[in-house]
Structure 1
Amino acid sequence: MIGEFALIFVAIAMGGLLKGAIGAGAPVLAVPVLALFFDVQLAVAVMVVPNLLSNLWQGWFYRRDMLPNAFTWGFATSGGIGVLIGTVILASVPAQVLLIAVAATVFGYIAFRLARPDWVLSYTAALRAVWPTGTVAGVLQGATGISAPVSITFLNSMKLKRESFIATISVFFALISALQIPVLWWYGIMTPQRFLYGLLAMIPLFGAMPVGNFIARHLPPRVFDRVILVLLALIAVRMIFKALQ
């Protein structure tokens, strides 16, 4: 049991490294590991708390670099609608199905990152797509705890400067997390114990974020990115094996 909790601590810390490096993505690493040792419902409930608090901080810190309100709040609001739908799915779908869904989501994220690394989406086209994209990302976040295959890829494709990316994605994650918490309470997925676990998860997350920021400034981005993708692939494969047992 001690070994499992140590591994979970490391997974959340690695999520903090990723968040510190690129401004987002902590659940991409932490949720699959938590789901692997416990279940998807617990993973989503635990990570929603640090997701909310860390993104409130980042959104405020980078607020001057935020994209125009029509885009930023359209993205966040549609994500909020989607996360409510996704949370209903989380509460009603069997654990094995959710495990496979999380693994498939991770593989989808990896595949797109490898297949289209240089794809650029113009701001005009992105503005037209912001509401449907935000909704789909919110559904994924609510149902699996991971929206990166849609949310992060969407903003990455616009080739934003790092500060604008962080400001915009932070508003998205903060709003959907704030909406998701009461719905998780309503369905009994969020409990006082899991809420406490979420607060404790802030320790490795916030502790690792400055390290990730340091690494991002000194390590070639492509190297760091490939290491993360390989790790995600290994986790996703393990999740599928667990779901099929």
Structure 2
Amino acid sequence: MEEGLLLIALAFAAGGVLKGAIGAGVPVIVVPIMALYHGVPFAVAVFALPSLLSNGWQGWHYRAHLLPARFLILLTLGAGLGAAIGSVLLAALSGPVLMGTVAGMTLAYVAFRFARPHWVLERHVADRLVMPAGLVAGVMQGAAGISAPVSITFISAMRLPREAFIATISVLFLAMSVVQIPALWSLGILTPDRLMLSLAACVPLFGGMPVGNVLARYMARETFDRIVMALLVVIAVRLAWAAVA
């Protein structure tokens, strides 16, 4: 148990470094690790407050770089609705199904990044897809705690500047968290004990974010991506094994 808690704290710190550097990536590190030790519902519940607070802070910090209001409104409406649907699925699905889902989504994200590293989503196409993308991302985040295969892929494919990417992805995750937290509480998934752990998890996360901000000035984003991709493959394989064992 103590080993698991230490590893989870280290995962949040590493996720904080990544978030400070590129604005995203925390759930794809911390949710699979927490799920390995305590199951997906626990992982999603404990990640709730760190997601809300870190994305709220980054969204405000980079607010000058936000995309047009219409795009953001459609994105957040879809994400909020999807998070509500996903939270209900989280309460209804079995542990092995959820762990297998997280593993599959993680591997899908890695495969897409390697297969289409230079794919660019034109802005007029992104404007048409924004609400469906937000909806699917919200469902994935609510049900399994990881929306990266849709959320990060969709926004990064637009090839936005770093500041605009961080601002937009933070608003997306913030919208999902605002809906997800009361939904998880009402469904009995976010318990008082898990809420306290969720609050405690903010400490290593916020501790790592300034480090990521500094490293971003000296290290290419591609370097971070390679490290995360390698880590995700290992974690996803372990999750898939746990789901079928």
Task: Normalising by structure 1, report the TM-score.
Answer: 0.98
Aligned to 2:66: 66
Aligned to 2:224: 224
Q: CA deviation at 1:222?
A: 1.9
Give 3-state SS (helix, strand or coil) of 1:24's partner. coil
What residue ranges of structure 1 are gaps of 5+ in the alignment? none
Deviations 1:3-39 (A, max 9, x none): 2211111111111111111101211100000000101
| Alpha-carbon contact 2:18-2:224 (below 8 Å) kept | no
Aligned to 2:207: 207
The letter of the residue matching 2:90 is L
Q: What CA distance in whole angstroms lies between the structure 2 residues aligned with 1:222 and 1:59?
A: 23
Aligned to 2:125: 125
Equivalent residues in 2 for 1:24-103 (5 A)? 24-103=24-103
Q: What CA distance in whole angstroms lies between the structure 2 residues aligned with 1:131 and 1:156?
A: 16
2:242 equivalent to 1:242: yes
2:7 equivalent to 1:7: yes
Q: CA deviation at 1:48?
A: 1.1
Deviations 1:33-54 (A, max 9, x none): 0000101000000001110011
Q: Count residues with an aligned counterpart.
A: 245
Q: What CA distance in whole angstroms lies between the structure 1 residues aligned with 2:145 and 2:124?
A: 29
Q: CA deviation at 1:221?
A: 2.1
Q: CA deviation at 1:169?
A: 1.0
The letter of the residue matching 2:76 is A
Aligned to 1:198: 198
What residue ranges of structure 2 are gaps of 5+ in the alignment? none
The letter of the residue matching 1:198 is S
Q: What CA distance in whole angstroms lies between the structure 2 residues aligned with 1:173 and 1:165?
A: 12
Q: What CA distance in whole angstroms lies between the structure 1 residues aligned with 2:232 and 2:216?
A: 19
Task: Normalising by structure 2, report the TM-score.
Answer: 0.98
Q: CA deviation at 1:216?
A: 2.0
Q: CA deviation at 1:109?
A: 0.6
Give 3-state SS (helix, strand or coil) of 1:201's partner. helix
Aligned to 2:168: 168
Q: CA deviation at 1:210?
A: 1.2
Q: What CA distance in whole angstroms lies between the structure 2 residues aligned with 1:111 and 1:67?
A: 28
The letter of the residue matching 1:138 is G
| Alpha-carbon contact 2:22-2:221 (below 8 Å) kept | no
Identity of aligned residues (%): 53
Q: CA deviation at 1:202?
A: 0.5
